[in-house]
């Protein structure tokens, strides 16, 4: 099956997300989508549906098929990709994107320039995707994200004059707050997922060096540069009209008497100075991003879903108390994947880490997977299944490893299985 690797352009409003989406979409292998606004939302809805469908553990359908949330969401990500593929011809036929542009610019913005363009990938530039990078990565584990960053004052001034495009003007403080809200989540995603998954470019570079910036993007995406990608950059779209003779420098604005302006430029200065082009995923920040996504999902659940989940959690707590009183041992039956090759990836997760699963009995919520007595970041699915992420250094060499479970609440350990690294 062909790898599904969509592209998401993230960043604040008025930062060039639209023009970058259309520029990348002129590539023969990349289909430019109009802003979707439904794909990111589906990550929340599917996540909540998984919780509802697995709420009764092995007595529910999802709980009895052994699928974790990652596999469940990835399946529906594949369905979304198939939907976009299956509706591609209708999209090309009925889209009014070109008709909304001045006639002399329409040739610069094509959904498909040539009949034989494969368009195997697609790019979505919905700015709200900035808040949902974790959820989108669950749907599309091989997705790539490009964060386009623009000076906060230039964004704010554009938003404050949005009425020149038929939208409402933002009050100044709200304009700055909007920039920081979106950019903060983009920066978290940069740190959490690392440079292999999230690229940062600058809107100013897109203006000054369009070819070099687009080449940087296509290289990141694993695509050959194509001259057609420069065509949209020769025209202005979605551009609000305002006076541009203002000082947008960090040195001037960081001393602003307006607290919101000062705070944004202080943050802007920090993220410019701290940015590293080559960076590994930060697992601590990834956990923060995961918690943020899950908390948001919970806030979006209908009240009846919360009641069902609360009942499930109470039932699990009751069963665990009985297990502790009975002193039933935690027993491992099997694990997977079994054929792990030294230094090679296996069972890759959305954050790029390897993972294993362990089946057994009497697994409690306080259990963790241990390899050679090292506790791993673990996730208990139910009394019979636990998964764990495995750092690369543990399986980089051939040899024999010891696998067991540890109940961190009671200190009890399971039986030991031998894991051979080939």
Of 102-111, 125-134, 369-378, which gets the smallest average pLDDT?
102-111
Structure tokens at 281: 């995923």
> Are 107 and 202 in a shared domain?
yes
Domain membership flag for residue 316:
no
Helix (H) or strand (E) holding 185: helix 172-193
pLDDT at 244 over 80: no
Residue 318 included in any domain: no
Top pLDDT among 271 and 66 is at 271
Provide the number of structural domains found in the chain: 2
Indicate if 83 and 194 belong to the same structural domain.
yes
Average pLDDT, stretch 55-76?
87
Tokens of 380: 């208990």
**Whole-number average pLDDT of the chain:** 90
Examine the domain organization and report whether 294 and 336 are in the same domain: no
- Let me know if residue 312 belongs to a domain: no
If asked whether residues 95 and 18 sit together in one domain, one would say: yes
DSSP symbol at 113: S
Spatial CB neighbours of 15, under 8 Å, sequence gap ≥ 6: 127, 148, 149, 150, 155, 203
Residue 317 lies in a domain: no
- In percent, the amount of the chain with pLDDT more than 90 equals 68
409 band by pLDDT with thresholds 50, 70 and 90: confident
What pLDDT, in 10s, does the model give residues 326-382?
A: 667 889 999 999 999 999 989 888 777 899 999 999 888 889 999 999 999 999 888
Q: Which of the listed residues 300, 318, 347 is the one where a domain comes to its end?
A: 300
Mean pLDDT throughout 204-226?
A: 96
Range of the domain at 384: 329-421
Q: Among candidates 23, 11, 9, which has minimal Cα distance to 236?
A: 23
147 - beta bridge partners? 10, 200
Query: Does pLDDT of 43 surpass 80?
Result: yes
Looking at residue 325, what is its pLDDT? 55
Q: Domain for residue 321, yes or no? A: no
DSSP string for residues in 357-372: EEEEES--TTEEEEET
DSSP state, residue 252: H
List the single range of 11-15, 64-68, 161-165, 405-409 with lowest mean pLDDT: 161-165
Q: Are residues 287 and 358 in the same domain?
A: no
Q: Of 258, 282, 300, at which residue does a domain stop?
A: 300
Predicted confidence band of residue 234 (pLDDT cuts 50, 70, 90): confident
pLDDT 10s digits, 132-153: 999 999 999 999 999 999 999 9
Residue 19 lies in a domain: yes
**Same domain? 343 vs 289:** no
On whether residue 389 sits in a domain, the answer given is yes
Which of 263, 280, 300 represents a domain boundary (last residue)?
Answer: 300
How much of the chain, in percent, has pLDDT values that exceed 70?
A: 92
Name the CA dihedral angle for 169, 173, 177, 183, rounded to a multiple of 10 degrees: 80
pLDDT band at 1 (very low <50, low <70, confident <90, very high): very low
Residues 162 and 50 in one domain: yes
User: Does residue 167 have a pLDDT over 80?
Assistant: no
Does some domain include residue 79?
yes
Are residue 250 and residue 360 in the same domain, yes or no? no
Q: What is the mean pLDDT of residues 103-109?
A: 78
**7 bridge partner residues:** 123, 144
Average confidence (pLDDT) over 286-311: 81
Domain co-membership, 246 together with 366: no
How far is residue 258's CA from residue 341's CA, in Å, rounded to a whole number? 57
d(CA 324, CA 37): 47
Same domain, yes or no: 93 and 31: yes
pLDDT at 53: 86
Q: 183 and 140 in one domain?
A: yes
Q: What is the dihedral of CA 66, 68, 72, 74, to 10 degrees?
A: -130
Confidence tier at 260 by pLDDT (50, 70, 90):
very high
Binning pLDDT at 50, 70 and 90, where does residue 237 land?
low
- 227 with 129, same domain: the answer is yes
108 confidence band (pLDDT: 50, 70, 90): confident
**Pick the residue with more confidence: 28 or 166?**
28
Q: What is the CATH number of the domain that holds 355?
A: 2.60.40.10
Q: What is the pLDDT of residue 154?
A: 95
- Identify the CATH number of the domain in which residue 209 sits: 3.40.50
- Count of Cβ atoms closer than 10 Å to residue 93 Cβ: 8
For residue 273, pLDDT beyond 80: yes
3-state DSSP assignment of residue 164: helix
Of 126, 131, 129, nearest in space to 32 by CA: 126
């Amino acid at each position: 099956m062909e790898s599904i690797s969509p592209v998401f352009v993230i960043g604040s409003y008025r930062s060039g997300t639209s023009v970058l989406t259309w520029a990348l979409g002129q590539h023969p292998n990349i289909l430019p989508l109009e802003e979707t606004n439904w794909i990111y939302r589906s990550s929340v809805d599917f996540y909540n549906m998984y919780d509802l469908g697995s709420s009764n553990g092995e007595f529910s359908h999802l709980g009895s098929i052994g699928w974790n949330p990652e596999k469940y969401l990835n399946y529906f990500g594949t369905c979304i990709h198939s939907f976009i593929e299956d509706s591609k011809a209708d999209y090309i036929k009925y889209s009014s994107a070109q008709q909304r542009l001045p006639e002399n610019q329409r040739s610069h913005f094509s959904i498909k320039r040539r009949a034989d363009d494969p368009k195997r990938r697609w790019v979505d530039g919905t700015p709200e995707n900035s808040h949902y990078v974790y959820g989108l990565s669950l749907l599309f584990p091989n997705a790539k994200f490009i964060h386009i960053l623009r000076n906060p004052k230039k964004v704010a001034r554009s938003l404050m004059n949005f009425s020149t495009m038929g939208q409402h003007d933002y009050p100044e403080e709200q304009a700055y707050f909007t920039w920081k809200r979106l950019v903060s989540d983009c920066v978290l995603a940069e740190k959490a997922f690392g440079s292999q998954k999230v690229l940062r470019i600058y809107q100013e570079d897109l203006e000054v060096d369009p070819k070099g910036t687009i080449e940087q993007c296509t290289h990141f995406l694993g695509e050959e540069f194509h001259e057609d990608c420069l065509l949209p950059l020769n025209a202005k779209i979605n551009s609000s009209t305002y006076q541009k003779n203002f000082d947008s420098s960090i040195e001037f604005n960081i001393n602003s008497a307006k607290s919101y302006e000062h705070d944004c430029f202080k943050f802007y200065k920090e993220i410019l100075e701290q940015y590293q082009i080559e960076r590994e995923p930060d697992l601590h920040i990834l956990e923060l991003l995961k918690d943020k996504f899950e908390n948001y999902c919970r806030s979006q659940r209908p009240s009846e879903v919360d009641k069902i989940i609360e009942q499930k959690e109470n039932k699990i707590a009751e069963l665990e108390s009985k297990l502790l009183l009975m002193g039933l041992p935690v027993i491992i039956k099997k694990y997977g994947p079994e054929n792990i090759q030294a230094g090679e990836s296996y069972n890759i997760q959305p954050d790029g880490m390897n993972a294993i699963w362990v089946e057994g009995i009497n697994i409690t919520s306080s259990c963790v997977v241990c390899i050679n007595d090292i506790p791993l970041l673990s996730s208990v699915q139910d009394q019979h299944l636990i998964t764990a992420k495995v750092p690369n250094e543990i399986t980089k060499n051939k040899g024999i490893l010891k696998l067991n479970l540890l109940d961190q609440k009671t200190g009890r350990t399971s039986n030991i299985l031998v894991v051979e690294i080939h």
